[in-house]
Structure 1
Amino acid sequence: MTPETEQLLRRWYMGQLIVLFGAAFIQLFTFDGGVFFPVGGMQLLIWGLLAWWPAAEEDQAQWWRLRHVNYYVQTVLQFTLLPILLANLVAWLSQLSWLDEQGLIAVGMAYLMVAFVPVAVVVTKPIESVIGRIAVLITAIFSGVVSAQQTFLILPNLQAPSVFEMVSDTGILGALGFVIAVGVLLRGWGLTGPSWRFNRQAQTSLVVGLIVVGTAFSLWNAFSAGGSWTTTFTHWDFQLRSATWKMFLSGLEPGIAEEWLYRFAVLTLLLQAFRHRRYQIDWAVWLSGGLFGMWHITNVFAGQPLSATVEQIIFAATLGWFLASMYLYSGSILLPMVIHAAIDILSMMASGSQTMVKPDVFEWQTIGATVIIFVGITIYFLTGSRRQVIQAHVNQRLSAQ
């Protein structure tokens, strides 16, 4: 990232702060006779000053520790609350101007796809710890950006059309915004973007085999109607109980955002961190998949049964290992994106639900079989000539940074 680009993003960041915090101060002062202004205004002022601090260019070495703590604090606060500040601005403009409220809402939802870019560069880029970078990526940044449009519409005085609410609930716009913000952020950290083209050194037959396995699993996972080993491959139900745009976009969102997070960002950071270790690729693949699995524990808070969540954690970890080896060997991030999206889209449309139900005994058995298959495939690609292809691809990507 050139100094000119960083300076431009810094100015964007400051302008965004001034507009959003200015509108918030005005709303506090005018709402209900300003009764909340003394306390709320003071809190907003403190936050605003701390939010301005990362953009200050003068040398502040004596405050190094406090400043770095503030990077984490501001990352959490701004990636979480920026949509609310923007919603407040839209609500204020809709009351004071001739502009159409629905048009303002549409502009606000679109702007949120890029609004986090200056925040990422000014506030999050200075974080140097690999653990810290991964931690903020999989928590505040992912949840904040992907759910930004949904958070934006949380204010009761914004009356959005139902189609806007549907799109915001799916998180698809947030997923695209996440791709943009994290792509710029990793470039700021000195890391290159993911590869899109297939690796020429990879054997075509093995890449086709990975595609076949991923496709077959997607179909079996969604449409198998058997309740035992004797019927699971012979009884099928191809009915789509909820073939709606909402289900399609809801399944597409993790295929984009989660793959961009775990197979690109987290995996790249781990490969960079372990670049001088003998088992660089092994550490990166197994850790990234493990983090991907553990992240699904949050589904408990969405009302999903604990046993179903444990099953999902195990499945997600093994799927993460499979998709990581698929990406590193094939060389294209599109492949795990498509497979992941297909798994989620088909399963959501077939079941009519976005959450899992309590698993029975046979489902636990199938999870065990899935673990064996996916772990076996991962080990296969992390050994022998396949590993050499992966190592060459990794070395090429890291050397380009």
Structure 2
Amino acid sequence: MKCLNQNAETAGSLKTIRIFHLAQTVGQLGILVICFYFGLRNAKLFAPKECNAILSSFILVCFFILVCLQFSLLQTEAEKPNGLQLFNHYFETITICCTLPQCLALLTKLLNYYHLINGTFWMLLVTFYSFFMYIPMAKLALSRVNNNWGRILLFLFIVYSQIMWTARNIAVPLDSHYNKVLRQINNAGLSGIPILIIITVMIMSSWKIQRPHFTFSRNDSILFSTLITLLLVGRLLLLAIPQLVKGVNIAGTLNSYFNQINLGIIGRAVRVGIAEEWLCRFVVISLLAQIFYNNKYRIYLIVLFDGILFGLWHLLNLRSDFKNTLPVLKQVIEVTGWAFVVAAVYLYTHSLLLTMTYHSLYDLIVFLFYGSITKYGNTTKSVVQPTIVDWQGAFLWLAIYAVIALVIIWTKRRQKVIEQNLAQI
């Protein structure tokens, strides 16, 4: 009887999500029609790129999302999807992630142009709504993707890159016409963290991902875990000290840096630490553990591929943070090696909190001492060309990090600890 009640509740919630999904799709279509109409009446309302976005989004929504493929998402869980429906799970994940913020951004510009909204109230409303707007995508499309490599690629290059900046992208037409604190939160990507967690919770059972583990593993050696923690602390000091000793008065230099700390910098560092570790350590390593389940070298393969994927993921910076490919490629090399170590640390300690804390502090030092984040959480542009010495340093650090990662996972005893931890992932 209890099982029947649970099934009835599940069916009822799924029906609600389907209705929400269709209503949201029709709403998108309505927004595009309205924007298209007002765009024709007022040529100054939308820029040429925005007009192209309206047209392309209109075609996607009308002919693909709403008509051709949309209703295959409404199949029951018991039905076996055919080839087109399996493809549609990828397609719908991509299109919903991309078109929803675009439609809301267009609507925001339209309402703001005619002075029909209060900027702060509107962004509070949109930020709150964004916590729920991706639930149909997660439940009806993303959770039904069966291939683990497809899951990883969707999560890394589509889902995260869209949802983390939903509020900021929608707020672009408002410029600075809303609350400064909310603006800092949205620009730093903090509002995307609960969205990422909500989506993960929605798909965990379907993807056979267990809950994250934040405390140190009971299986590890206290001494070795302490050494790992000291290693991470030492890396932070190695990053910060060279900047401090540049000044004649270290105390005065440190005080000047502390005076630069603001919500934008702190928010960006916290977002990076929490969201990126949640994604690249918790989610990606959980899926890699499934992929290499029967491989005797799976510990090494998990560390290798997690590092490579994390490095390649930073190629997304080409579209926003850098105007030149060489600084990005150098960054990819450096963070790939860095991710080897963090993946090894996570596998051995099983503590997501440790890697989150380290990642947040690392980026806080970078943002504060190297001046790459503004007070509103925006990334400053970098066009500095790496020198030969810079490239040599990048590859040297890659080799050093790889060796450190190997040391962490090398012995049979440590691998036994890691295997016990993997059994809980």
TM-score (structure 2 length as normaliser): 0.80
Residue from 224, 232, 254 that aligns with 2:272:
254
1:26–1:151: structure 2 CA closer, same or farther, 3 Å change rule? closer
C-alpha displacement at 1:282, in angstroms? 1.2
C-alpha displacement at 1:184, in angstroms? 2.5
Instruction: Answer with 326-335 or 177-186: which moved more.
Output: 177-186
C-alpha displacement at 1:29, in angstroms? 4.7
* 2:61 matches 1:44: yes
Residue from 169, 174, 184 that aligns with 1:166:
184
* 2:202 matches 1:194: no
Secondary structure class of the residue paired with 1:172: coil
Identity fraction in percent? 21
Equivalent residue, structure 1, for 2:327: 308
Root-mean-square deviation (CA, aligned residues, Å) is 3.5
Q: How far does the alpha carbon of each residue in 1:72-97 deviate from its partner, in whole angstroms, 9 at most, with x for none?
A: 1110111122223445677889999x
Instruction: Answer with 338-347 or 297-306: which moved more.
Output: 297-306
C-alpha displacement at 1:379, in angstroms? 0.7
User: Matched residues in 1 for 2:175 and 2:325: separation?
Assistant: 36
Equivalent residue, structure 2, for 1:297: 315
Q: How far does the alpha carbon of each residue in 1:320-371 deviate from its partner, in whole angstroms, 9 at most, with x for none?
A: 1111111111111011111111111111011111466444455445444433
Equivalent residue, structure 2, for 1:25: 30
Equivalent residue, structure 1, for 2:72: 53
Maintained 8 Å contact 1:325/1:378: yes
Residue correspondences, number: 390
Residue from 8, 15, 20 that aligns with 2:13:
8
Equivalent residue, structure 2, for 1:205: 223
Equivalent residue, structure 2, for 1:370: 397
User: Matched residues in 1 for 2:204 and 2:402: separation?
Assistant: 29
User: Matched residues in 2 for 1:328 and 1:43: separation?
Assistant: 42
Maintained 8 Å contact 1:13/1:118: yes
User: Matched residues in 1 for 2:331 and 2:39: separation?
Assistant: 50
C-alpha displacement at 1:71, in angstroms? 1.1
Equivalent residue, structure 1, for 2:143: 125
TM-score (structure 1 length as normaliser): 0.84
Equivalent residue, structure 2, for 1:379: 406
1:261–1:392: structure 2 CA closer, same or farther, 3 Å change rule? same
1:59–1:389: structure 2 CA closer, same or farther, 3 Å change rule? closer
User: Matched residues in 1 for 2:120 and 2:19: separation?
Assistant: 27
1:349–1:8: structure 2 CA closer, same or farther, 3 Å change rule? same
Secondary structure class of the residue paired with 1:153: helix
1:157–1:340: structure 2 CA closer, same or farther, 3 Å change rule? closer
User: Matched residues in 2 for 1:69 and 1:330: separation?
Assistant: 38
1:164–1:24: structure 2 CA closer, same or farther, 3 Å change rule? farther
User: Matched residues in 1 for 2:15 and 2:351: separation?
Assistant: 33
Letter in 2 for 1:144: Q
User: Matched residues in 2 for 1:187 and 1:244: separation?
Assistant: 39
User: Matched residues in 1 for 2:176 and 2:235: separation?
Assistant: 42
Q: How far does the alpha carbon of each residue in 1:166-197 deviate from its partner, in whole angstroms, 9 at most, with x for none?
A: 32221111133212212332333121122112
User: Matched residues in 2 for 1:43 and 1:368: separation?
Assistant: 43
Equivalent residue, structure 1, for 2:238: 220
Secondary structure class of the residue paired with 1:277: coil
Maintained 8 Å contact 1:293/1:317: yes
User: Matched residues in 2 for 1:267 and 1:120: separation?
Assistant: 19
Structure 2 unaligned blocks of 5 or more: 1-5, 42-50, 374-380
Letter in 2 for 1:57: T
User: Matched residues in 2 for 1:38 and 1:291: separation?
Assistant: 34
Equivalent residue, structure 1, for 2:355: 336
Q: How far does the alpha carbon of each residue in 1:30-79 deviate from its partner, in whole angstroms, 9 at most, with x for none?
A: 83398899997665333223334312339876x71111111111101111
User: Matched residues in 2 for 1:179 and 1:200: separation?
Assistant: 25
Letter in 2 for 1:17: L
Equivalent residue, structure 2, for 1:327: 346
Q: How far does the alpha carbon of each residue in 1:355-394 deviate from its partner, in whole angstroms, 9 at most, with x for none?
A: 6644445544544443343222211121211111111111
Equivalent residue, structure 1, for 2:378: none
Equivalent residue, structure 2, for 1:351: 370
Letter in 2 for 1:394: L
Equivalent residue, structure 2, for 1:75: 93
Secondary structure class of the residue paired with 2:93: helix
1:388–1:89: structure 2 CA closer, same or farther, 3 Å change rule? same
